[in-house]
Structure formats: structure tokens, C-alpha cells
Amino acid sequence: MYKFSSTICVFMALLVGLIPLGEGFAQTSKKSLEMQMMTVGGSDLQQCPSDAPVNLHLTHVLQRALRCSPELMEFQLNYQIAQADSMIASQRPNPVLGLGADSINPTPGRSPQGTRQIDSSVRIDQLVELGEKPRFRREAASAAELAAQFSLKFAQKAVLSDVEHIYFDVLSAQQRAMDLAEMVQMNQRVLEVAQARFKAGDISDLELKKIVLDITRANNEYQNAKTDLAKSKSNLAKMLGYNQTLNQTTLARDWPNHEISIPAIPWERISQRADLRVLQNRTLSAEKSRYLARALRVPDVTVGLQYNHLPVTGSYELGTVNTYMLNLSVPLFLRHSYEGELRKAEIEYFKFRDEQLRGEKDAHTSLKYQEAELVANQERLTRVLKEILPTASQVAASAEFAYAKGAIGVLDLIDARRSLRQARTEASQIRTDFAKSLSSFKLAIEIEE
């Protein structure tokens, strides 16, 4: 029995020395796996309180978006899945251990073997992959992991850009509501003057009704503006994970400076953009998967080594018989030769390559359009702020003063007030368009180092 145990120990030690374990086996401990599992999950709720502050700045909004935006969760999980796939691809096939028993004799007393009842055997099999399959599998998984990593980076930047867009929408709605609230106060003064002139007989009842009608329309616009503001804040709350307390929050006027120079487009490095790096690495992963599919036509070999321990036969002097057996097995490609896998890999490669080429072409085309749009919005905003809005404010103030003195008619007053409302609305909208186009343009030219 001692010889049998010693032989098994030597046999197992030999196999462990001959058959390498997976690359990550010795490096991955229980503690490291627990730490990795702790990173899987949602945002830290302690860092994402539901109540919104009284005042909110754009910097705080962007910081919270990175921590609490539910839009990023899917990309974070996809990246962690890709990391797990890389770990799986780097693992070697595990050996298979087999224990066997034969020549089982339930009546050992009648056998020439004496008290021996069972012949025993120990066997271990190892799959040996040929055709560089492990290398292609690792390279495909590594490229897919890089694609997921760049996808996460681009998603973070895209979410920040989207949050900026919603923030500017709220700012625009907030400014429009403030402008119309000021117009409502002006309407009250105009109505008091009109009523005084009507009592004095300076204007007719028809003119007074025209003023009341215009004031009513302005009040309705103010109510619509408050509704739009509440809707915009609701969209921002969803992006940031706030509750209804955001309705009482005032957003800081963190508009971008419209007098800055437009950033130059790095045409020679635009292919290093994060979203284009995603397409490039997906194509590379598909190419390595294509090589792996081709390598499937190279049959793998399964090597088996077996140790047999036989009891004594005949007289005791013959001793115990121990034998060894070596097996080699290969698959026979009789029913198929992985034609389906190869065809699928080829199609996926050309699909991802076409997506990469289209993406790079569309990136150059859209950049030219975004640059032209940004320049146009900048010029429009400059004209509105320096020419149209100041002129409209002066005309409205002069018309109100002239009407109070009886120098102009009611139609001139109404026309001047409508022009002021339109100018303020236009200024708010153009400022929003410029801020959004600048945010999108910066995202489109940001290069991943």
C-alpha cells in the first residue's frame, strides 16, 4: 500500500510540473476577487443625495453626473464584462483527473489474489490547443476590452455633453421665465397708465382693450415659460438622480464666453478620438476572431497519461503489477470542419471594418458642419447681444415713456413691447444654441491620449 501511495504522489507531481496552470491562477487570490466584485454595481448612494441644493453650478452638475448618472452604468458593466472575457481568454484548459476501479471481486476468498478485491487506476488528460488558438483568443479579447474601455471613456464625455445641453436648456427656460416676469411687472405699469388715460378721455375703450389683450398674451407666455422651466428641470433631475426639490433650485448663469476663439480641429489626429478608437479595436478584435476561426481547422490533441495498480496474481512472490499508459486523441472532421464558425467570423470582420470606415468618414464630414454651425451661432449671438437686444430695450422704454405722455398711439406701444419680448426670447435661444454647439464641438475634437 505504501508503494501505491508513493507512486500516485510521484505521478501527480510529475503531471503538475509538466502541465502549466492558467496565467492568472497564481496571481488571483480570494481577496483580490472580492475587491473586484465590490467594484461591480451601481453608484455610491451616499455620494448621490436625492435632495438638490438651493443653488447649482455647472461644475457641480458635471461632477455629480460622473458619479450618479444612470446612463453610465451600462457602459461600466460592459467594460467589466470585457475584462472578465480577457481573463477567461488567458486561461489554459484545465486538466481532467480520473480515478478508476476494475476487476471488482465480491468474493475475495475464492480468488487466487487472496484478499485483493479491486484493481485501481489514476488517469489525467490535458487538452493541447494547436494552431495558435490561445494567442488569437487572447488578442481578440484584449482588443475587445480596449474597445469597451474607450467606449466607457467616450460615454463619460458624451454624458457630460448631454448634461451640459440639458443644463443650458434649463438656463434658457429660467432666463425666459425671468424676462417674462419682468415684462409682467412692466405690463402692470402700462395698464395703470392706460387706465388713467382712458379715464381722462385720452384713449378710447378699443385702445384700452388692445392693451389688455396684449398684456393677457404676455401673461400666458409667462405661464408657458414656467411650465417649460419645470419640464427642463425634470429632465435634469432624471439625468442627475435628484428628486422634486430641484424645482426650487436656481441655476447659476454659467454660460460659455461667446467671445472666445473657436478651437482648431486637429485633423491629423482625429482618428485618435475615443469613439473612433472603439471602432478600430472592434475591427481588430473581429480580425483576431477570424484568425481563431481559421485555426479551428487545425485539430487539437488530447494527451492522456494513466497509471494502473494491479493486485498480486498467483503466488505472493510475483508481487504487485504497476503499469503506465499514454493516450493521444484527435477529433475527426467527418461531419463538419467549422465552416459555419469561419463564415460567421469573416462576415463579422467585414461588418466591423465597414463600420470603422464609415465612422471615420462621417467624423470628418460632421466636424466641418459642426465648425460652421458654431461660427454661425457665435456671430448671431454677438449681433443679438450687442445690437438687437439693446436697441429693442431702448425702443420699448422710449415707447412706454412716449405713450405715457400721449406722444404715440397704442399700436406703436404694443409693437415696441412685442419686439422686446421677441428680442429677449431670441437672445436666450441663440445663447443656448451657441452653448450647445460649443459643447458638442469640444466633444468632437477631443483626442484620447
Say if CB 92 and CB 135 are below 8 A apart: no
**Range with top average pLDDT, 137-151, 318-332, 392-406:** 137-151
Mean pLDDT of the chain: 84
Looking at domain 133-297+354-449, its CATH architecture is Up-down Bundle (1.20)
Q: Look at 34 and 285; give whichever has higher pLDDT.
A: 285
**Range with top average pLDDT, 42-46, 288-292, 398-402:** 288-292
Q: For residue 3, what pLDDT is reported?
A: 47
Tens-digit pLDDT profile for residues 227-251: 999 999 998 888 888 888 888 889 9
Which has the closest alpha carbon to 423: 401, 377, 376, 391?
Answer: 391
Q: For residue 214, what pLDDT is reported?
A: 82
pLDDT grade for 15, boundaries at 50, 70 and 90: very low
State residue 247 phi and psi, 5-degree precision.
-65, -25
Say if CB 119 and CB 311 are below 8 A apart: yes
The residues spanned by each domain of the chain are: 133-297+354-449
pLDDT grade for 108, boundaries at 50, 70 and 90: low
Q: For residue 167, what pLDDT is reported?
A: 94
Does residue 318 have a pLDDT over 80? no
| Mean pLDDT computed over 370-391 | 93
Does residue 170 have a pLDDT over 70? yes
pLDDT grade for 8, boundaries at 50, 70 and 90: very low
Which has the closest alpha carbon to 165: 440, 429, 443, 401?
Answer: 440
Say if CB 125 and CB 302 are below 8 A apart: yes
User: What is the 3-state secondary structure of the chain?
Assistant: CHHHHHHHHHHHHHHHHHCCCCCCCCCCCHHHHHHHHHHCCCCCHHHCCCCCCCEECHHHHHHHHHHHCHHHHHHHHHHHHHHHHHHHHCCCCCCEEEEEEECCCCCHHHCCCCCCCCEEEEEEEEEECCCCHHHHHHHHHHHHHHHHHHHHHHHHHHHHHHHHHHHHHHHHHHHHHHHHHHHHHHHHHHHHHHHHHHHHCCCCHHHHHHHHHHHHHHHHHHHHHHHHHHHHHHHHHHHHCCCHHHHHCEECCCCCCCCCCCCCCCHHHHHHCHHHHHHHHHHHHHHHHHHHHHHCCCCCEEEEEEEEEECCCCCHHHCCEEEEEEEEECCCCCCCCCHHHHHHHHHHHHHHHHHHHHHHHHHHHHHHHHHHHHHHHHHHHHHHHHHHHHHHHHHHHHHHHHHHCCCCCHHHHHHHHHHHHHHHHHHHHHHHHHHHHHHHHHHHHCCCC
Q: Look at 314 and 343; give whichever has higher pLDDT.
A: 343
Percent of the chain scoring above 70 in pLDDT: 84
Tens-digit pLDDT profile for residues 412-436: 877 888 888 889 889 999 999 999 9
Q: For residue 1, what pLDDT is reported?
A: 44
- Rounded Cα distance, 148 and 278, in Å: 7
- Rounded Cα distance, 175 and 181, in Å: 10
Least confident of 15-19, 171-175, 267-271, 297-301: 15-19
